[in-house]
Amino acid sequence: MTEEDKQEMLDYVGVKSTDDFFTDIPEKIRSQKEMNLAPPVSESALIKEFQELSSQNDNIKAYPSFLGAGVYDHYIPSIVDHVISRSEFYTAYTPYQPEISQGELQAIFEFQTMICEITGMEIANSSMYDGGTALAEAALVAATQSKMKRTKILVSEGVHPEALDVLKTYASGPDLTVEQIPLFKGQTDVQALKEAIDENTAGVIVQYPNFYGSIENLREIEHVVHQYKSLFIVSSNPLALGVLAPPGEFGADIVVGDAQPFGIPSQMGGPHCGYFAAAKKLMRKVPGRLVGQTVDEDGRRGFVLTLQAREQHIRRDKATSNICSNQALNALAASVAMSVLGRKGLKQMAVQNVKNTFYLKDKLKKAGISIIDDQPVFNEFVVDLNTAVSDVNKKLRKRGIIGGYDLSAVHSNKSGQMLVCVTELRTKEEIEQFVKELEEAL
């Protein structure tokens, strides 16, 4: 755009400068400085700069990765990319017009159905942004569904610390109190929960398996939660439910999580796809979109957005949530992956994760490396290196290995502790090489 072009447009709308467009914003909160931007460069120079930046990224396809902590390196069937690359899917937006959106609506309906089957719940929505926002939305449902207007949310320290940060941000709006329940030997301390829960507790949130990989005792926790008629909210890795009994069997009211383990690459930490499943009694409180199955006037099966009176675009300030979109493309990727794996394949994949995890555990013990809170886990567990994890990871990286997660980044009292992750993609040779290089790095 030339200066002449700019001036012509300003003259046409009747203003002197672009600043005039912002007069409705109070001057005291408007930035008066020039934006700190680099000078423009040519297209070829810009492409070169981005290529140089991208070359600094580690590619988990090139290096065996033992990093998890919420984002996992799992098998993705090649058909996933083929399906989600179809233009009618990757350009689709919210299917407001069902008569021209049956493919998209059916894909979402199948996602909802599979999430219900995996979690053991009665209904599921059409997806959320990610696991963290799904968890926070679940807390809001717990606070708003009670006629007593309860304001306290109890959260296990085993919940992902980044999800906890999202929850605290959400809770600051309606002025909810978020309290943490400590862990005891790697699991939520049930006695501490009994002491903290009261008549003002809207919901209790635990993660299953928890952030450190340990399997929570949902039956014992559920008994405490429902004594006070609070909502029992479980955040769960959906792949783990291939071997673990689903939260629905333990009386969970809401089950949330991230569908990233199914067909979604780690891709720099996002975008992902959150899922939200609940008991039928909460149907009108569930945030986001619900797709329902129906029949048309000729008796043919069809799909529609249903119960839209819950939604922001219908009820505005009275809506169940301000989330008014979803991750339909990533939900489709998860649906395709789950469909390709099938019931048996999903279980086999989950079992392989367990076997590989315990193979690594055994090798580390024989190497004399200490395991923190050694007990049944899924995917990941904590080791004590007694030295700075960041230094160890740098040494591992030079040896062609992506190391585990440095827990000192989220807890000051966990200095020297590494959260290591093993998936079905790690071979025995890679696991043995990791232990050997870890010994040398130490």
State residue 106's pLDDT score. 94
Query: What value does the mean pLDDT take over residues 284-297?
Result: 91
* Res. 207: pLDDT tops 70: yes
> How confident is the model over 351-368, as pLDDT tens digits?
999 999 999 999 999 999
Q: Does 368 fall in a domain?
A: yes
As given in the structure block, the two tokens for residue 28 are 């005291």
Give the DSSP H/E element, type plus range, for residue 207: strand 201-208
Distance of CA 334 to CAs 111, 258, 262, 346, 441, Å? 8, 10, 5, 12, 37
Same-domain status, 332 and 353: no
Residues 318 and 352 grouped into a single domain: no
Question: Residues 6 or more apart from 106 whose CB is under 8 A from it?
Answer: 303
My answer on whether 115 and 198 are in the same domain is yes
User: What number of other Cβ atoms are within 10 A of residue 98's Cβ?
Assistant: 16
- C-alpha 201/C-alpha 221 separation (Å) is 14
Q: For residues 59 and 162, which has the higher predicted lDDT (pLDDT)?
A: 162
Residue 140 domain-assigned?
yes
- Shared domain for 325 and 355, answered yes or no, is no
Taking only the tens place, the pLDDT of each residue in 99-113 is: 889 999 999 999 999
Residues 320, 372 share a domain: no
Q: Give pLDDT, residue 325.
A: 66
Whether the per-residue pLDDT at 181 is higher than 90: the answer is: yes
Q: What is the CATH number of the domain that holds 310?
A: 3.40.640.10
- Report the relative pairing of strands 301-305 and 291-295 from DSSP bridges: antiparallel
Strand partners, 205: 155, 233
138 and 267 co-located in one domain:
yes
Please give the average per-residue pLDDT across 374-391, as a whole number. Answer: 95
Confidence at residue 47, expressed as pLDDT on a 0 to 100 scale: 97
Domain end: 296, 316, 336, which one? 336
Which residue among 307, 336, 365 closes a domain? 336
Q: Is residue 51 part of a domain?
A: no
User: What is the structure's pLDDT at 270?
Assistant: 87
Four-CA torsion 185, 191, 196, 199, nearest 10 degrees: 140
Question: How many Cα atoms are found within 13 Å in the side-chain-facing hemisphere of 86?
Answer: 12
Query: At residue 240, what is the residue type?
Result: A
Residue with tokens 């529609």: 304
Average pLDDT, the chain: 93
Judgement on whether residues 158 and 248 belong to the same structural domain of the protein = yes
Q: Looking at the structure, tell me whether residues 264 and 355 fall in a common domain.
A: no
Q: Supply the pTM of this predicted model.
A: 0.90
Q: Is 1 a domain residue?
A: no
The answer to whether residue 3 sits within a structural domain is: no
Instruction: Tell me what percent of the residues of the chain surpass a pLDDT of 70.
Output: 99
Same-domain status, 278 and 377: no
Domain-located, residue 62: no
* Two tokens, residue 321: 């949530």
Percent of the chain with pLDDT over 90: 82
Q: Three-state DSSP class for 287?
A: coil
Residues 149 and 126 both lie in one domain:
yes
- Considering the domain architecture, whether residues 196 and 213 belong to the same structural domain is answered as yes
Contacts of 123 (CB under 8 A, 6+ apart): 112, 116, 277, 278, 279, 280, 282, 283, 286, 290
List, for residues 312-327, the tens digit of each pLDDT value.
677 777 777 777 667 8
**Domain-ending residue, one of 311, 336, 361:** 336
Contact indicator for 236, 378 with CB cutoff of 8 Å: no
202 within domain boundaries: yes
Q: Is the pLDDT of residue 194 over 90?
A: yes
Q: What is the pLDDT of residues 18-44, one digit of tens each?
A: 989 999 999 889 888 888 999 999 999
Q: Are residues 327 and 361 in the same domain?
A: no
Total number of domains in the chain: 2
1 has pLDDT over 90: no
Q: Which domain holds residue 250?
A: 79-336
Sign of CA dihedral 303, 307, 309, 313: negative
Q: How far is CA 316 from the centre of its chain?
A: 26
Q: What is the CATH number of the domain that holds 379?
A: 3.90.1150.10
**Residue 128 is assigned to a structural domain of this protein:** yes
The pLDDT value given to residue 61: 81
